[in-house]
A and B are shown apart, each in its own frame.
Chain A
Amino acid sequence: MALLTDELKAWIGREVHYPAREELGRASIRYFALAMGDENPLYLDDAYAQEAGHPSVIAPPTLVCETCQYAHRRPDPNGYIGHEWQLPITDCRMIRAGNEYQFMRTVLPEDRISVTWTLEDIVERPSSRGGTQLFVSSVARYKDAAGEVVAINCETVVYQPMEKA
């Protein structure tokens, strides 16, 4: 049975916007650096960052694309609070296939970053394990308070049918 139903195809092109709720913040930057074991003073020490030409500490490059700080909802049954399409797909396991990030400028603690997710495409392809699987491509555009795009995240996830027990 085809995984890519007409109902699912109708999701292509959908868009969801998450407004910024606060500045990214120094705490978020330091927390991320600590969690990654990254002791680069660019993320921790204003004087060091200023000597490197920045107005203050900066965010690690990928933080803006990795954080769900834009989220504000109760956790779903999986505990997740970030963006998800809640596609009508059942009995599948979702796995990340890859991401392509583009960065337009360095992100600072004072930045208020809003995010718009667009569902670009859904494609069904044969799986090496037999049968088929679904590739879902989404794009997140991250904008600052002036509406300028600071980063773009093209993300592909795969839905694999679960083996029957």
Chain B
Amino acid sequence: MIKPTKSVAMVLAGESLPVLERTFTTVDLMAYGAATWDWHRVHYDIDFAWAMKLPNVVIDGQAFGALFARAVVDWAGPQAFVARLSFKMKSMAFAGETLRMQGEVTQIRSSTVIVAQRLTSGRRLVSEAETEVRLPF
């Protein structure tokens, strides 16, 4: 039995998505870099990061896109289709940080639900997104 998918009728404007938290360890950064064929040193080479005047190795900003999409798919269900995802970087995040993702439905247009998402580390805003997901009626 698959998890049920939300229909548009089940969604309310202003509804919050479940919070998703993820800590990115250096192992996670290595695994993500390898899985995406991105071998840039800034994600695993601490001497390189220090030479770039950074405090630690950097979480790849593209991984935030995967997290934003995951939070929406986890909430909406397996028949939801993410049609658009726009995200902006607000600050860099580094190995060891625990990122917390929150989301809220802002608009419902026909079969498309628009979700505003925020990714924070403590009180610091790391990234924010607007995601459009198509749901069954």
The answer on A and B forming one complex is yes
Instruction: Given A36-B67, A71-B37, A79-B45, answer yes or no on A61-B82 (Cβ-Cβ < 8 Å).
Output: yes
Is A127 part of the contact surface with B, judged by Cβ < 8 Å?
no
Determine the distance from Cα of A150 to Cα of B121 in the docked complex, in whole angstroms: 33
Tell me the complex Cα distance, A52–B3, Å: 9
A146 within 8 A of B: no
B61-105, CB under 8 A of A: which get 1 and which 0? 111011111100110001101111111110010000000000000
Q: Which residues of B contact A97 (CB under 8 A)?
A: 88-89
Say which size band chain A's interface belongs to.
35 or more
> What are 14 sample pairs from A and B whose C-beta atoms fall under 8 A apart?
A31-B31, A36-B67, A42-B73, A51-B2, A61-B69, A61-B73, A62-B85, A78-B41, A80-B38, A80-B40, A81-B38, A99-B87, A101-B84, A103-B81
Write out the residue numbers on chain B whose beta carbons fall within 8 Å of the beta carbon of A42: 73, 78
User: Is residue B53 contacting chain A, with contact meaning CB distance below 8 A?
Assistant: yes
Contact present for B35 and A48 (CB under 8 Å): no
* A67 contacts the other chain (CB 8 A): yes
Contact with B along A68-105 (1 / 0, CB 8 A): 11010001001111100000000001011111111100
Q: Is A65 an interface residue (CB 8 A)?
A: yes
Verify B83–A36 contact, CB threshold 8 A: no
> Can you name the residue of chain A whose Cβ is closest to the Cβ of B1?
A51
A7–B1 CA distance with the chains assembled, in angstroms: 59
Residue contact A35 to B35, C-beta cutoff 8 Å: yes
Q: A100-B84, A101-B65 are in contact. Are A66 and B36 (CB under 8 A)?
A: yes
Question: Would you call B92 and A95 a contact (CB within 8 A)?
Answer: yes
Take A36-B67, A97-B88 as given contacts and tell me if A52 and B78 are in contact as well, using a CB distance cutoff of 8 Å.
yes
Least CB distance from A148 to B in Å reads: 16
Interface residues of B (CB under 8 A from A): 1-2, 5, 22, 28, 31-32, 34-42, 45, 48, 52-53, 61-63, 65-70, 73-74, 78-79, 81-89, 92
| Interchain CB contact (< 8 A) of A31 among B34, B40, B66 | B34
CB distance from B87 to the nearest CB of A (A): 6
Say how far A47's CB is from chain B's closest CB, in angstroms: 9
Is the CB–CB distance between A35 and B34 below 8 Å?
A: yes
Question: Residues of B contacting A82 with CB < 8 Å?
Answer: 37-38
**In the complex the two chains form, what is the Cα distance from A48 to B62 in whole Å?**
27
Q: How far is the CB of A27 from chain B (nearest CB, A)?
A: 10
Does A11 interact with chain B (Cβ within 8 Å)? no
Residues of B with C-beta under 8 A to A49: 78
Contact partners of A163 in chain B: CB under 8 A: 53
Chain A residues, Cβ within 8 Å of B45: 79
B103 to chain A, nearest CB (A): 15
Nearest B residue to A52, CB-CB: B78
